[in-house]
Structure 1
């Protein structure tokens, strides 16, 4: 098959900075080859796009595909054919044809945006407007590739723990939908700074991002850094928008939910089906199998989730048994009771020069010892950066040497990973300590 011609004027290259944030156009070097991150609009991946990603991973890389914790995909182990890889992905609409417009497409939605039973509104039209703003406004291309925005419509399947530079959350005021917002936090625990009518959502995003660029120094690439020198009230008052800040707004808090992202999921009409690749790693065969299933039993689309899983929306419930059998045969997780559903891990030393241990292999050992607990309650991190999880897990195993870990339990009163529970554990010792119900992790 001939290689796809590359139409844009930009030439992708491997970034020389090991800590650079990968993108579609910025292929970052790692121990196991280049990494290309595909930023999906609201996590949406069409079946034909999934097949194109599978083909790209086979043709231009080592066949390793990862679901990320911000509902994107990345291809690992990329060789020298960068132009062909990017062109292949652009041909199926997996990114803008301007490199600068790709970096800033960091907008996270619920995996069930538009169909979740608990949603106040279908937030997808507003999300499309915000993405268009980010992609087509040259001034906003000055933002860091890590600068992130969250848009929440009150869905029950929503990640409320990931911190974002700007978050917006729908709420009802006087029987009308407004958008509450906060900075450098998340709807689950962040302070509500104000609210604007729904129709002012795009204007609010633009005002916040442009004010950030006006005030931030070159070293202040994230909102939390700017707010260390700029009082938050000064920032809000300078937005130039009529912002509602009465007690009804300031005292509002997003009602937390207990999200479930595996198995049969409720929709406003019908149902969805959630599956996860073990430890976030997809093979081309898995992705092709899910694309086929999306066509046969769904609406031809997949949605990535912040839990490194995928959802097939508008799923035919009569085909549930078939879907369960097919995804199990592909090696995927579709049941919260499976031990691997409880654990996540970064790339580790097999693919990252900073990793102190082979976290993926060690996670498999630990998972075999786990029989209790909630999904994604244990995380293995190869170094203190903890790239593979955007919030603190209930239990974190931090690698200190090959096959040796320190165990931390989350504690809101303590910074970082929380409270140190045990040091220098083998994977077997850690698994034995962690095989207990999640509610006991804080004991």
Structure 2
């Protein structure tokens, strides 16, 4: 595809896309959606070059395993064209927004996987982009396909989630509406009906939802879940799934060296606070050519993986990623922190969250702590798709309210302290014993 449509053809949305550059304080933002979080080395080079030529060189790894280019100047049409020429566009222009299918970063190679989700994912992504009615879906409407991997993001809520299970030696998919694989499933279907289930759920949603009901949870607030499932069962045969539970994922598998299901390994490293630059991305792509399979995979933890690395090359690969400025150990405090764009790039942010997060990382390093903290410049929580164990919500430049996650409370959880500076937070932590919130 070498042509892109005018903005009038693309469904209106405040979210950036590949074909829709959204303006921010630091320039335009273009979101490059990656199929299953995966990108070929040559495509990564194209993203790096576009960021250098047409923007400020800043590339972000998002919490849904996509990439964003920030600081785009007036040549945004040329930027879009270069990315389309690299094969990073949708099958149909109007299908760009709906390419929201999350897989495990280790899909197809994970030691714990119950099935390789990639063949079904390819069919789902094609259908999302080419089924014209699905172009009516919100740019935030999202599907998760989970193969039972040890490396899996199980806390992000999706409008539809599907998770592998095995019944009598045969592959099945448990699924749920408006939730995550750790929830109780609504029902199950054989793997062969997986695509049909996705189509049926999305068509039913579009049949029933008003234009203002953009997410599955909005529809469920009006139509009881049981009633919705009865209607769904008229379109695709469903089976009960009363006793199934998704096993927990394993923390930290997105960083470091980890065995695959074969005799190779994958090597992961995190982009500090989700930020890369063109030099880092280009060098990682070359490393993937030299030591892997010429591909990179991005994760919902804002990290990247090099799959299919020979075991004898693994430590060299990790060391070279760290030399680029990527974080190769979960023990580094910065690897546990999430921060939104902050006031340097977003007009809604009340604080420079990126700079404050680096100050916090230094403080935690001195204290020998690895607290999992999300710094948010405003209540929208753009940087985290789920509630973090601890949240610092900006109230003024350099000042934050501190919340701890509490499943019984809405929003960020329980307020622990008000109007803290980063330094004051250090004193607050010093005065309290370590807790389960420490990484």
Q: Partner residue of 2:217?
A: 224
8 Å CA contact retained: 1:277, 1:332: yes
Asked if residue 99 in structure 1 is aligned to residue 93 in structure 2, the reply is yes
Which residue does 1:200 correspond to in 2? 193
8 Å CA contact 2:332, 2:370 repeated in 1: no
Query: Partner residue of 1:404?
Result: 399
The C-alpha deviation readout for 1:76-124, integer Å capped at 9, x for no partner, is 0111112211110011111125321111000000000000000011110
- TM-score using structure 1 length: 0.94
Determine the C-alpha separation between the residues in 1 that align with 2:342 and 2:226. Answer: 41
Listed as ranges, the matches of 1:120-139 within 5 Å are 120-139=114-133
Matched residues in 2 for 1:437 and 1:238: separation?
A: 52
Q: Is the 8 A contact 1:280 1:309 kept in 2?
A: yes
Query: CA 1:63–1:203 in 2, change beyond 3 Å: closer, same or farther?
Result: same
1:284 is aligned, of 278, 282, 285, to: 278
2:96 alignment partner, SS class: helix
Report the CA distance between 1:321 and its aligned residue. 3.4
1:357 is the counterpart of 2:351: yes
CA deviation profile, 1:351-385 (whole Å, cap 9, x unmatched): 0110000000000000001145558x211000000
Change in 2 beyond 3 A, CA 1:178/1:319: same
- Find the counterpart in structure 1 of residue 306 from structure 2: 312
Partner of 1:340: 334
Aligned to 1:330: 324
How far is the alpha carbon of 1:263 from its aligned partner? Answer: 0.7
Q: Which residue does the alignment assign to 2:153?
A: 159
Distance in structure 2 (CA, Å) of the matches to 1:335 and 1:298:
20
| Aligned partner of 1:80 among 74, 81, 87 | 74
CA-based RMSD = 1.9
How far apart in 2 are the matches of 1:410 and 1:74? 28
The counterpart of 1:215, out of the listed 185, 192, 208, is 208
Task: Please say if residues 209 and 219 of structure 2, whose CA atoms lie closer than 8 Å, have aligned partners that are also in contact.
Answer: yes
Tell me, yes or no, if the aligned pair for 1:403 and 1:427 is still in contact at 8 Å. yes
Deviation at 1:431, TM superposition (A): 3.8
Distance 2:216 2:339 in 1: 27
1:266 matched to 2:262? The reply is: no
| Contact 2:268-2:318 at 8 Å conserved across structures | no
- Do residues 24 (structure 1) and 18 (structure 2) align? yes
List aligned pairs for 1:290-301, cutoff 5 A. Answer: 290-301=284-295
Please give the alpha-carbon distance, in whole angstroms, between the structure 2 residues aligned to 1:175 and 1:123: 17
Residue 31 to residue 424, structure 1, CA distance change in 2 (3 Å): same
Aligned to 2:315: 321
Using a 3 Å threshold, how does the CA distance of structure 1 residues 429 and 155 change in structure 2: closer, same or farther? same
Superposition deviation, residue 258 in structure 1: 2.2
Say yes or no: does 1:251 pair with 2:235. no
Equivalenced residue count is 430
Moved more, 314-323 or 217-226: 314-323
**What corresponds to 1:66 in structure 2?**
60
* Change in CA separation of 1:9 and 1:37 when aligned onto 2, cut-off 3 Å: closer
8 Å CA contact retained: 1:90, 1:97: no
Distance change (3 Å), C-alpha of 1:121 and 1:366: same
Deviation sequence 1:191-217 (CA, Å, 0-9, x none): 210000000000000000000000000
The answer to whether structure 1 residue 395 and structure 2 residue 390 are counterparts is yes
Q: Distance in 2 between matches of 1:295 and 1:9?
A: 30
Q: Please, which of 297, 303, 306 is the counterpart of residue 303 of structure 1? A: 297
Aligned 8 A contact 1:412 1:418 in 2: yes
Q: Distance in 1 between matches of 2:420 and 2:363?
A: 14
Deviations 1:172-200 (A, max 9, x none): 11221110000111002x22100000000
Whether the 8 Å contact between 2:267 and 2:318 is mirrored in structure 1 is: no
Q: Is the 8 A contact 2:50 2:83 kept in 1?
A: yes
Runs ≥4 residues deviating over 3 A: 371-375, 431-442
Which residue of 32, 36, 55 corresponds with 2:30? 36
**TM-score normalised by length of structure 2:** 0.94
The answer on whether the counterparts of 1:158 and 1:259 sit within 8 Å (CA) in structure 2 is: no
Task: Note if 1:417 corresponds to 2:409.
Answer: no
Gaps of 5+ in 2: none
Please report how far the alpha carbon of residue 329 of structure 1 lies from its aligned counterpart in structure 2 after TM superposition.
1.9
